[in-house]
Structure 1
Amino acid sequence: MKILVIGAGWLGTQLATQLKTDGHELWLSSRSTTKSSAVAEQFGHFVLDLGQSIRPTPELESLFKDALIICTVPASRSDGEGYTRGLAQLATLMKQLGAAACIHLSSSGIYEGLSGEVNEQSQLQLADPRIELLAVGEQLLRVAVPCCTLRLAGLIGPGRHPARFLSGKQAGAADVAVNMVHSSDICAAVSAIVQQQLWPELFNLSSPQFCSKAEFYLTACELASLPAPVFETKSTATPSRRVSSAKSQTIAGFHYQFESALAALPFCS
């Protein structure tokens, strides 16, 4: 299958490597030619800047036609309008140029404001601007072509060690649940989804077993030989949010390599 990964960043490059190993034809986009030499050594490369107005060209049509599009564009905390405008452009291109389907890497941050266990059917707090931004982004791609939306928990893996996030800082309550997912588990899930063409669909991707924020970050900092964060002594008044991965565990041929985020820590750098 021809697959276009929109965004040749940390996760997009890992996904492309896995999918190329699976035997697919891979193309990665970047916003400029800066990354083209490094990317082109392993994959096809094309420039696509969703922050600018894009006109369909014969070259883009030949790329998008009958391709699976994987969107790894993160939601911006500083430019929400730019994010939705960019995804709207991508949605238009997919429809106009005949893309076959899309896998959208969204965020489990869409469940912000909820407590206890949340799943793909949980009612979202859409009055929150950040949550509305994520929901609008999902909807833009979902209505363009058949789309599998993946709501990713916090990202960890090679080149993204969680100890760096909170080392030596005030870290809030100690007993809240940590929702994390290792990049290798994301790659394995996407590989299985592509193989079975599971779209349209919606899955959370998060390590199935929960651990506390204190346990996770204290262990992470110890392993990385970094100063520990400082946690509050009082407990949280309401149950913390725990992202359920039960549905993703039903994907045939997929299982989490790291059942717990704690087990993934030695495989982060």
Structure 2
Amino acid sequence: MTLNLVITGYGWLAGYVGEALNDDFNIVGTSRSRDKCHALQAQGIEALEYALGDNTKPLERYLPNATLLLNVPPGRRSTNLDAFTKHMLSLIDSAIRAGVGHIVFISTTSVYGDNTDETLTAQAPTNPQTASAKAHVAIEQYLLSLREQINVSIVRLAGLVGPDRHPARSLSGRQLEAGNKRINLVHVFDIVKALGEIIRCTPLNDTIHLCSLSHPKRGLYYVEAAKAMGIEPPDFTGTDAEPGGKVIDARECWAQLGITPEFADPYRMF
């Protein structure tokens, strides 16, 4: 019997994941948009119109023995995320009552904060500073408290890059500071490999983070990326200063999954 892979928040990342795993699972995707649900159905994906806070009963029928991929972003501009966190925890409770087999939570390396120049492994303590990061930590901690009941995989992602997405585009032409800060990026193709391993194989009951293996200064990297893309480069101050900012060290995590990232070098991402 083909098991369900239920992806809440079927957006940019989910599109790549669903395409990669479509042969192994029955993909069920949720979206707040009815039009998006129709588009997913046209792609052969079982789609459900659902927003956080909605009645979970229609979703629960897909969840027994399923893998639930929680991929709902809280919104970049939100500052009060109490409702978001409450609804996420309620969805988790509903999934467990429905007999879900494995929960994979897409989190973020922003849970470590930005006020550090340290190299951080997945075991480093969190220090969330934004409302979004604090919400992610609260959800992580709740999931970790459930690990004796259910397999839980927490996957913290660095800045996302893909064939159709690169941060250099949003930085084009801007005047920016702290060019000496080091970058932490991860390519969607490497994320998909990791999630495939986590979901297909024995569930990873652990917390990991995913990032490239080198961390150039952003004042150098984004200028080179913009030039390669044929767009106006940003202009950074402070690029000549000693490298600063956090470094997400994901070497142990990639090794744990048995994966050598294809885009270990960010200069291969453009």
Q: Which residue of 2 aligns with 1:140?
A: 142
* % identity of equivalent residues: 23
Q: Which residue of 2 aligns with 1:97?
A: 98
Residue segments in structure 2 that go unaligned for 5+ positions in a row: none
**Matched position secondary structure for 2:269:** helix
**Matched position secondary structure for 1:168:** coil
- Cα shift readout 1:157-199 (whole Å, capped 9, x = no counterpart): 0221222121111221222110000111100100111222233
Alpha carbon RMSD of aligned pairs, Å? 2.0
Q: Which residue of 2 aligns with 1:39?
A: 40
Q: Which residue of 2 aligns with 1:170?
A: 175
**Matched position secondary structure for 2:177:** strand
**Counterpart check, 1:84 vs 2:88:** no
Residue 226 of structure 1 aligns to which amino acid in structure 2?
I
* Structure 1 residue 224: Cα displacement: 1.7
* Structure 1 residue 134: Cα displacement: 1.9
- Cα shift readout 1:44-80 (whole Å, capped 9, x = no counterpart): 1112211x34252xx4332011110001111334141
Q: Distance in 2 between matches of 1:242 and 1:94?
A: 35
Tell me which stretches of 4 or more aligned residues in structure 1 moved more than 4 Å.
126-130, 234-238
Q: Which residue of 1 aligns with 2:8?
A: 6
CA contact (8 A) 1:150 1:202 kept: yes
**Matched position secondary structure for 1:211:** coil
- Distance verdict in 2 for CA 1:170–1:99, change over 3 Å: same
In structure 2, which of residues 208, 213, 216 is the aligned counterpart of residue 208 of structure 1? 213
Q: Which residue of 2 aligns with 1:230?
A: 235
Residue segments in structure 1 that go unaligned for 5+ positions in a row: none
**Matched position secondary structure for 1:178:** coil
TM-score by length of 1: 0.89
CA contact (8 A) 1:87 1:140 kept: no
**Counterpart check, 1:241 vs 2:243:** no
**Counterpart check, 1:19 vs 2:24:** no
CA contact (8 A) 2:223 2:235 kept: no
* Structure 1 residue 24: Cα displacement: 1.7
- Cα shift readout 1:122-153 (whole Å, capped 9, x = no counterpart): 12225765542221021233345421001100
Residue 69 of structure 2 aligns to which amino acid in structure 1?
I
**Matched position secondary structure for 1:254:** coil
Q: Distance in 1 between matches of 2:130 and 2:61?
A: 40
**Counterpart check, 1:70 vs 2:69:** yes
- Distance verdict in 2 for CA 1:238–1:167, change over 3 Å: closer
- Distance verdict in 2 for CA 1:24–1:55, change over 3 Å: closer
- Distance verdict in 2 for CA 1:75–1:67, change over 3 Å: same
Q: Distance in 2 between matches of 1:126 and 1:222?
A: 34
Q: Distance in 2 between matches of 1:171 and 1:191?
A: 37
Q: Which residue of 1 aligns with 2:122?
A: 120
CA contact (8 A) 2:220 2:239 kept: no
Residue 121 of structure 1 aligns to which amino acid in structure 2?
Q
Q: Distance in 2 between matches of 1:179 and 1:201?
A: 21
Residue 8 of structure 1 aligns to which amino acid in structure 2?
Y
